[in-house]
Structure 1
Amino acid sequence: MQIHLETTLPAAPERVYELLTNGAKFGEVTGQPGKGGGSAGAYFSLFNDWLEGRQIELVPNERIVQAWRFMNWEPGVYSIVRFTLTPNGDGTKLVVDQEGVPEAFHEHVKTNWKPFYFEPFAKHLEGLA
């Protein structure tokens, strides 16, 4: 089952890209500790090590592809997350496509993108405008 979500954030793609590829910055913005993730192949963890993964592909300010998993998933099970960033006026259209989420966790993952990513990002980025 695939997850497809879209939002527009009030900042240039560079700022959104940084939040998605810098675990420490993600943690500062969301209040959920994170680390790592700045280069292709790099390990990262978010939500105080509850989610871990690797950066698969990084196209600065345009696309991010990550493999990640939650600690309560079966060993070896990873989801692929693709972030596409497109300039949209003074902001950025962020498209999230995710596949490979175990069925038992699908609804949980889908409903938590907004409160754990989109809303804290928007609040932080609005404060910088």
Structure 2
Amino acid sequence: MEFTLKATFNTTAKQIYKAWLSTQGHTKMTGGEAFVSDKVGDSFSAWDGYIKGENLILEPYHRIVQSWRSSNFKENEEDSQIEVTLLEKEGTTELTLIHSNVPEDGEHYIQGWQVHYFDPMKSYFEY
């Protein structure tokens, strides 16, 4: 299964990119403890270890591709993948997230992205 989500934030693409790929920034913008790097091939964890993955493709201030799995994934299920693209428009940035190779029972991740990422990020980037 695959889904695409969009959200707009009152900040620059650079600010979102740097926060997403930094331990301190990711932790602050989501509210869950994260360990993140801005180097291709490095692994990351987010939301107190609930999410784990690896940086696959990084195009500074524009695109982030990561392997992604939650602790709900069964052992025999492949990692899913997220692709985050950032497009600046008149002082705001539109974030498009494509989450692919999601297990068939993974529809709850759609709401998870909204509640655990986009909502807290909107608050974080307001300031």
What amino acid is the match of 2:119? E
The aligned counterpart of 1:50 is 50
What is the rounded CA distance, in whole Å, between the counterparts of 2:24 and 2:78 in structure 1?
24
What is the rounded CA distance, in whole Å, between the counterparts of 2:81 and 2:88 in structure 1?
23
CA contact (8 A) 1:37 1:54 kept: no
Structure 2 unaligned segments of length 5 or more: list them: none
**CA displacement 1:4-33 (0-9 Å, x = unmatched):** 011111000001112221233211222200
Residues matched between the structures, number: 126
> 1:98 and 2:112 equivalent?
no
1:60-79 to 2 correspondences below 5 Å: 60-75=60-75, 77-79=78-80
What is the rounded CA distance, in whole Å, between the counterparts of 2:102 and 2:37 in structure 1?
21
**Per residue, is there more helix in 1 or in 2?**
1
What is the rounded CA distance, in whole Å, between the counterparts of 2:72 and 2:115 in structure 1?
20
Structure 1 unaligned segments of length 5 or more: list them: none
With normalisation by structure 2, the TM-score equals 0.93
- Once the two structures are overlaid, the 10-residue window that deviates more, 88-97 or 67-76, is 67-76
What is the rounded CA distance, in whole Å, between the counterparts of 2:21 and 2:104 in structure 1?
26
Q: Residue 67 of structure 2: SS of its match in structure 1?
A: strand
Structure 1 runs of 4+ off > 3 angstroms?
none
The aligned counterpart of 2:22 is 22
Percentage of identical aligned residues: 27
How far did 1:3 drift? 0.9
What is the rounded CA distance, in whole Å, between the counterparts of 1:24 and 1:44 in structure 2?
13
What amino acid is the match of 2:88? P
Cα RMSD after superposing both structures: 1.2
The aligned counterpart of 2:117 is 117
